[in-house]
A and B are shown apart, each in its own frame.
Chain A
């Protein structure tokens, strides 16, 4: 039985395969001035929301894992560069998770680049949300 962590690892490992990309998982733990900060949000859609991926008995076996990825840089150029690396690592990639069939990772939504509202710093943050949907393999 694959866990939520397996799903998170599948995406984090894709990102970390890029040696030029600093990746933080849920918390900024370093001092890099440009990085991708990854938050995950798990959903278990039932037949109403994922009718094409739900078994006839209606069990909630589909996992729709959302990854909220903050692409942060010291300026717009740096933030866009991080966004591009994240996109190259994830978009349309079909990861491997033991016991699960993975659909290609898709982009769901995003926000435009904007300075950090709280600190009024020059750090620019753009958020992209990606979705990884899996079903029992």
Chain B
């Protein structure tokens, strides 16, 4: 009677690598998201600084603590309407026809500028997490 033998040593090792990666990924991803949020906040504040009529607005730009679970790490970055001049965010970002106020894009460009750095950091995280 012919028989077949399977050696699952490599598969078992790979499974353990993935389990290890899954265990460390959430905390590491939270660090990457936090770093990205810090960068976006700082860049957005820099881009919108110097407006005579909105001197306090840049300091209203903050981000929420990173929320993390097994599959997602999220935060929200932007002007806090509870802070001084925070409610101006939409008007400054997009402009206001009523006052002929032009837009001063700062949040979207800051986020776009961070995207390649964020992608690289997440790639590095993935490589580090699955290294044996």
Chain A count of residues within 8 A CB distance of the other chain: 25
Pair A109/B108 contact, Cβ less than 8 Å: yes
Pair A72/B94 contact, Cβ less than 8 Å: no
- For B117, the closest partner residue in chain A by CB is A48
Pair B98/A123 contact, Cβ less than 8 Å: yes
Instruction: Kindly supply a per-residue 1/0 record for chain B positions 68-106, scoring 1 wherever the CB is within 8 Å of any chain A CB and 0 otherwise.
Output: 000000000000000000000011001111111011010
Q: Is the interface of B mostly helix, strand, loop or mixed?
A: helix
- For A120, the closest partner residue in chain B by CB is B98
Chain B count of residues within 8 A CB distance of the other chain: 18
Pair A48/B116 contact, Cβ less than 8 Å: yes
Instruction: Kindly supply a per-residue 1/0 record for chain A positions 112-129, scoring 1 wherever the CB is within 8 Å of any chain B CB and 0 otherwise.
Output: 000011110101010101
Most buried by A among B91, B95, B109: B95
What's the Cα separation between A70 and B90 when bound, in Å?
13
Pair A28/B97 contact, Cβ less than 8 Å: yes
B113: Cβ under 8 A from any A Cβ: yes
Chain B contact residues, CB within 8 Å of chain A: 90-91, 94-100, 102-103, 105, 108-109, 112-113, 115-116
